[in-house]
Structure 1
Amino acid sequence: MFDRLFGRAGRSTLIDAAFRDINEMLDQAEHMLELGLKALLDNRQLEVDLDKLDDVVDEGERMVRRSVLEHLAFNPKQDLVTSLVLVSMVQDAERLGDFARGLPELVPLARHPRQGPFRDELRALAERLKPFFPLTREAISSDDPKKARQLMDAVRALRVDLLAYTSKVAESDLSADMAVVYSGAARSLRRVGAHLSNIASSVVQPYDRIRHGDENAT
């Protein structure tokens, strides 16, 4: 949407800085998710303090908001829609850090190491989620509606399978602690996918339709 509406040549350096900050937030959230999954599914000790990494994501949100405000203060009529979209995108990017940080918080609830078929199935679902980060970055950096729709479709499919997994956990004979851990992790993965889809929707949707399904999907 951005290049097709405004073109790169006419975009301000502040707006470009905001795009870079959002990409860095996605990088950080992706790293946090990887660390969180290792702690949860591989029974590993956390290598770093995820709270500190999340602080970096939060600071990225503040920088984007500051860049947008400074841009609009000097050029209130230039890139107005893009500025609004950036504020929407950065809200979703910030939430990615929150859900990634929350995965290791499930670990103390488990009385035993995570292992067995439910762990393995959740790991497979998480592996499907990981490529969504680079695909989201590619979609917004290249302003590519095809990649954005590909991401949104993949998120919808993964959501269905994560919900089915949660139902399977609920119907199982797992202990209460492990059921809470696995279902909580599945919910976090669903939310990560949803926020990535929201970001990608900014490429294919008009501003009032961002965070909704693609109105041009067949």
Structure 2
Amino acid sequence: DRQINVTEMEIRRALVVHASVHGGTDTPEVLVVMNMIKDLERIGDYNKNIFDMAEEGVSFAGSDYVDSVLAYRDEVSTRIALLGEILSVRDEDRTRAYIQRGDELRREFDDHINDLIHSADPGIMAVPRALLYRFLKRVSAHALNVASAVIMPVDRLDYFDEADDTRG
């Protein structure tokens, strides 16, 4: 985590130097990259939160919902890898499909969280699941922010942190 933070600062510093030396013509690209770095770092933070839960002894093994949890884990992990491809290829159609599925996932995670809020399950079972769904939702939202750099102008970046009905 510390090394990631140091690397993030080094990249930001290099971008500021680049913008200073080359003038304002690259400013939009510099802003996009800085935004992407912030979101990628936050993805790492949420992944660390998930590992912290495991270190605290949280386990879904043997539960009725383990298959669902594993399926979400696998899908979110696969989508992170796919994000790298999308950024390399910069295919707008693939990006839009990625964003559409990401929005669906975010809504699914919200539904699970809301169900757990109103669940009669004991806290020791409901709270870890709610936290996991929240962390996976945030990982997904930050991945959508990164992907949005392919199709969105600079002033619209980070719009995936907003509710669907406020995006315009």
Tell whether the structures are fold-level matches, with TM greater than 0.5: yes
Aligned to 2:139: 192
Q: Which deviates more, 80-89 or 185-194?
A: 80-89
From 35, 39, 48, the counterpart of 1:92: 39
TM-score by length of 1: 0.67
**Aligned partners of 2:67 and 2:33: how far apart in 1?**
37
Deviations 1:169-213 (A, max 9, x none): 334443211211110011000000000000000110011011226
**Aligned partners of 1:67 and 1:121: how far apart in 2?**
42
The structure whose RCO (Cα within 8 Å, separation 6+) is larger is 2
> Which stretches of structure 1, 4 residues or longer, exceed 4 Å deviation after superposition?
none
**Aligned partners of 2:46 and 2:102: how far apart in 1?**
16
Q: Which has the higher helix share?
A: 2
Q: How does 1:22-171 map to 2 (within 5 A)?
A: 54-107=1-54, 108=56, 110=58, 114-171=61-118
Q: Which deviates more, 142-151 or 166-175?
A: 166-175
Structure 1 pair 179–198 and aligned structure 2 pair: CA distance change class (3 A): same
Structure 1 pair 169–117 and aligned structure 2 pair: CA distance change class (3 A): farther
Deviations 1:39-63 (A, max 9, x none): xxxxxxxxxxxxxxx2232223112
TM-score by length of 2: 0.85
Structure 1 pair 149–56 and aligned structure 2 pair: CA distance change class (3 A): farther
Which amino acid in 2 is paired with 1:174? D
Structure 1 pair 170–77 and aligned structure 2 pair: CA distance change class (3 A): closer
Aligned to 1:201: 148
**Aligned partners of 2:25 and 2:139: how far apart in 1?**
32
Contact 1:166–1:183 (8 Å) recurs in 2: yes
The residue matched to 2:23 in structure 1 has which SS? Answer: coil
Q: How many residues align?
A: 160
Structure 1 pair 128–113 and aligned structure 2 pair: CA distance change class (3 A): closer
Q: Which deviates more, 196-205 or 133-142?
A: 133-142
Cα RMSD, aligned residues only: 2.0
Which amino acid in 1 is paired with 2:65? F
For structure 2, the residue ranges without an aligned partner over 5 or more in a row are none
Percent identical pairs in the alignment equals: 26
Structure 1 pair 127–146 and aligned structure 2 pair: CA distance change class (3 A): same
For structure 1, the residue ranges without an aligned partner over 5 or more in a row are 1-53
CA drift of 1:109 comes to 6.4
CA drift of 1:95 comes to 0.4
